[in-house]
Structure 1
Amino acid sequence: MKEGFQTRMMVSAMALALVALAFAASVPNVGASWTSSWNYEVSMGDPVSQATVVGSPEGIVYVMGGVTAVPYTALTSAYAYDTETGSWTSLNPLPAATRGAAGAMGLDGRVYVFGGYVGGPLEYTQIYDPDADLWTLGELMPYPVWEAKAATLGNGSICVVGGEDVPGLVQIYDPAANTWSIGPPVPEYVMCGAMVSIGDDLYYSGGGSDGYAATTNLFKYDSALGAWTTLADLLEPRAGHAMVEGVDGLLYILGGADDGSNLPAPVYDSVYAYDIEADEWSEATSMDVARTYLGAAATSDGRIWALGGNSASTVYTEVESLQLYLFDYSVELSSSSVRAGESVLLMADAEFVYVEESGSELRWSLVSADDGTVYASEYVWNSMPSPMALTIDVSAVAPAGDYLVVIEYWYVYADVTYEYVTDLELELEVLPAADPADLLIADLEEQIAALEEQLSELNDSMAASDAALMADIAALEDALAALEASVDTDNLALMDEIAALQDQITALQTALDEANQDVGDVQTSVDDKMSAVMGYAIIGLLVVVVLLLIVMMVMGRKSAPPPAP
């Protein structure tokens, strides 16, 4: 990777942020395209041609009836192909063998097979329910058809258009009512062509007109007008081809031959794309296998499919797919003007849908619109997906005037393809280089503006804080008032309770006093009795003491010796 690229390219958050800005200059593009080759997929177990081939929104392709070899013998076999896994499943067979029948997927998810050929045109309406793997028969068609084409309209009805021996006939089937009606006829005899529906409109391409010889016709049934109109002719006559609408909104016709007979010669591998809005045809990538009476389907992953078909002598088993993709890009400048000596950003953004981007390379130049002088140029290789932001440095000596940022080329690569953009020009005005004093003043003004913004934010923050504080104070005041009111109310009940308690206390005190009085009286009585007892005890004691003294005196006398003679 080049050093200039490393220092200049900023594929980062800055680049992503710039996408959202209102850029002063831009060159947008939206397109649809296809890869350069078809891919071989899992082939059918048996060769099949002239089968009814119908695709479902879930990516399942149904192959009903048809033939397996030349000469042509109609089949009852039915298969389902899972385009995601590449697996084939055998289904319950059709009630009636058929080839060259018209078919469509109904809005109810069932497959409808109309008419066909076994010894002559058929009038059967055969209905397959994928959920139950069962067939039923609907109301017979008003007119039997072979090589008619069918498509489901947005209102749910199914149109069966053309067929051998029914010039321009349009038969309309109502699946809900199981009834048929006749619609406005196609301007010409049509058979063995191809048809798709978009909303309530029909597009019928090529086929034979009053015979098997191929035509270049393209008819549209315009539901708004209630009539058929003629669009741009196919690039070549085709019959026995297939037709699908791709995810890009283009109509693709695949293969076919110069006539719609069973053994046509030659057969083609060519593929053409029709742009409805532009009413124009272009050539797309050819298939690997040339074939007619093939089946085709388109799936939501962006692929179109070609299945089976035959040449003048061979019926094929091959299944091929072609990857379609969408491509979108924009190239923008961050400003429409810049001063000499300063820089501007070039934003290059690309997007693939259905394929993955892998990188890009780009060369730009800064050129004077006045004299063609190149003042800057750079080559950039980007190994990462878009977007990328490139810095364009405008020389300080570049004279003031009008300039062009020229994208000489820009290649955007995906895993299987690439897109390129060349010779894009973005206008850029280069202003005189700024005076140093002016730069200083501008820098000071920016600083002042930043300080003023900070001051404003601070004031806003303080104002918000003050408001929040005042709100808190008001809330506290409200809470206090509520508390005071609650206290006043509660005090009345409290005072009543206190008064009741005081009454109880008084009663208890009175009872206590009375009890104390009784105790005092008892104590006094006890004291009196104890005093009397104590008196009697003392007297008794004194008596005992006296008696003891007397006894002692008596005893003393008896023991004393007699007096001396």
Structure 2
Amino acid sequence: MDPPRLPRAVIAAAFAAAAAVCAQPEEQRGSEAESPPPRLPMPVANNAVAALETSAGWSVFSFLGIDSTKLWSGVTTASFRWDLGASEWETIEPPPGPGRLAATAQPFDGRIFLFGGYTVAEGGAEQSLPQVDVLDPETGVWTRAAPMPTPVDDAISGVWRDSLIYVVSGWHDSDNVAAVQIYDPARDAWAQGTPIPGPPVFGHAGGIAGDAIVYIDGARVQAEPRTFVLETSSWQGRIDPAEPTRISWERVPGHPGPGLYRAAAVAVGTRVVFAGGSDNPYNYNGIGYDGRQAEPWSGAFAFDAATGAWSELPAPDTPTMDHRGIVIADGRAFIVGGMTAGQRVTGRVTEIRLRP
């Protein structure tokens, strides 16, 4: 029998002591004269985010995360909604169950699907959750979908051809997994896709652009001594339309800037856009697994799955890290919450530009 594996918090402490979205076409973007977005009702980081068009117009959602204490007790269920044009966010009914971190959300067919995440106990024990919660924004009612076969957190997700939702790699209780789990909302059923060929990671960033899954970097497990280190690699997987569980993976050239952990990302047409993140993997308090304070990176860039080329984009006004994604609403792109310099949890909503 293999020896038991330690949770991330335990490994981090030991090491420190020793050493998506399916988006609108960009030409439909809203006016440059739009008013700036309001701040969240409270600072929150590592929150799941999504946006979709409702009967009230375009709406942006934030679920779960960690508050400004950055303590295990600050892991929250707090959830919010902002209708574009409104002067403030409103508090909404949270998903059922405990507060958790590192969940991922995707809009699909007028609903929002919220996958996984992990809880943190007072003693530091962490548990990845299998649950899939579904929000109907018209009624505010949550329902439960079929659970993930392998519970994961800190994964990436994306919607393919308005039919399937892919959940790629991530952390499962005591180690990363290479699994690509595919959820079919029409059948409320799961299938397994071709696993990623690179090192399994958590805190990576990416999305699905056309038939391409694109993701970068994240944290991988180092065996000796067992800890977490930054994985600097970029990958593209081509989904076979005739057999969507079959994915042809290939490594692509490295992206601009440093390797990144918990950057924000979203698919826009044939491109996947990335912004922020940190070059030092860290625990939920913003302190690196190497004992150093993590700081946000200030840049942004995009990968075009149609051409295989990277391009640099204008940097966000405020560098941030600790994200689950970028959201696009009515053609406008937003980073919601996160951590700014000095590991400060923020309620700021930053609008970013998708073109140079």
Give 1:255 deviation, angstroms: 0.4
Partner residue of 1:237?
259
Equivalent residue in structure 2 for 1:125, among 121, 132, 135? 132
Aligned to 1:230, the other structure's residue is in SS state strand
Aligned length, in residue pairs: 290
- The CA deviation string for residues 496-515 of structure 1, in whole angstroms up to 9 with x for no partner, is xxxxxxxxxxxxxxxxxxxx
Q: Which runs of 5+ in 1 are unaligned?
A: 1-30, 327-565
Give 1:79 deviation, angstroms: 1.0
Q: Is the 8 A contact 1:252 1:274 kept in 2?
A: yes
Partner residue of 1:109?
110
* 1:172 equivalent in alignment to 2:182: yes
Partner residue of 1:204?
215
Query: How many Å separate the matches in 2 of 1:94 and 1:137?
Result: 9
Aligned to 1:113, the other structure's residue is in SS state strand
- What TM-score, normalized by structure 1, do the two folds share? 0.48
Query: How many Å separate the matches in 2 of 1:191 and 1:244?
Result: 17
Partner residue of 2:295?
266
Query: How many Å separate the matches in 1 of 2:355 and 2:319?
Result: 23
Q: Which has the higher contact order (CA 8 A, sep 6+)?
A: 2
Query: How many Å separate the matches in 1 of 2:310 and 2:217?
Result: 13
Partner residue of 2:348?
318
Query: How many Å separate the matches in 1 of 2:215 and 2:42?
Result: 29
Partner residue of 2:146?
139
Query: How many Å separate the matches in 2 of 1:111 and 1:289?
Result: 28
Give 1:324 deviation, angstroms: 4.2
Query: How many Å separate the matches in 2 of 1:268 and 1:90?
Result: 30
208 and 320 in structure 1: CA distance in 2 versus 1, 3 angstrom threshold: same
**Greater strand share, structure number:** 2
Query: How many Å separate the matches in 2 of 1:323 and 1:272?
Result: 10
Give 1:223 deviation, angstroms: 1.4
Partner residue of 1:61?
60
- The CA deviation string for residues 310-333 of structure 1, in whole angstroms up to 9 with x for no partner, is 14531011111134469xxxxxxx
Query: How many Å separate the matches in 2 of 1:210 and 1:78?
Result: 32
Aligned-residue CA RMSD (Å): 2.7
Map residues 283-362 of structure 1 onto 2, 5 A cutoff.
283-294=312-323, 295-301=325-331, 303-311=332-340, 312-324=342-354
Query: How many Å separate the matches in 1 of 2:153 and 2:206?
Result: 15
What code does the residue aligned with 1:207 have?
Answer: G
Partner residue of 2:101?
99
What code does the residue aligned with 1:292 have?
Answer: M
Partner residue of 1:250?
271
What code does the residue aligned with 1:214 have?
Answer: L
Q: Is the 8 A contact 1:240 1:259 kept in 2?
A: no
268 and 86 in structure 1: CA distance in 2 versus 1, 3 angstrom threshold: farther
Q: Which runs of 5+ in 2 are unaligned?
A: 1-26, 120-125, 223-227, 241-245, 289-293
Partner residue of 1:563?
none
Higher-Rg structure is 1
Give 1:153 deviation, angstroms: 1.3
Give 1:154 deviation, angstroms: 1.0
* 1:184 equivalent in alignment to 2:194: yes
Q: Is the 8 A contact 1:245 1:298 kept in 2?
A: no
Query: How many Å separate the matches in 2 of 1:139 and 1:221?
Result: 25
What code does the residue aligned with 1:273 have?
Answer: A
- The CA deviation string for residues 191-225 of structure 1, in whole angstroms up to 9 with x for no partner, is 11112112343211221233643333221220137
Query: How many Å separate the matches in 2 of 1:200 and 1:95?
Result: 33
Query: How many Å separate the matches in 2 of 1:94 and 1:156?
Result: 23
Give 1:290 deviation, angstroms: 1.9
What code does the residue aligned with 1:221 have?
Answer: G
- The CA deviation string for residues 41-69 of structure 1, in whole angstroms up to 9 with x for no partner, is 31111011111111214531111111112
* 1:277 equivalent in alignment to 2:306: yes
- The CA deviation string for residues 351-389 of structure 1, in whole angstroms up to 9 with x for no partner, is xxxxxxxxxxxxxxxxxxxxxxxxxxxxxxxxxxxxxxx
Q: Is the 8 A contact 1:204 1:218 kept in 2?
A: yes
Aligned to 1:257, the other structure's residue is in SS state coil
Query: How many Å separate the matches in 2 of 1:276 and 1:238?
Result: 20
Give 1:274 deviation, angstroms: 2.3
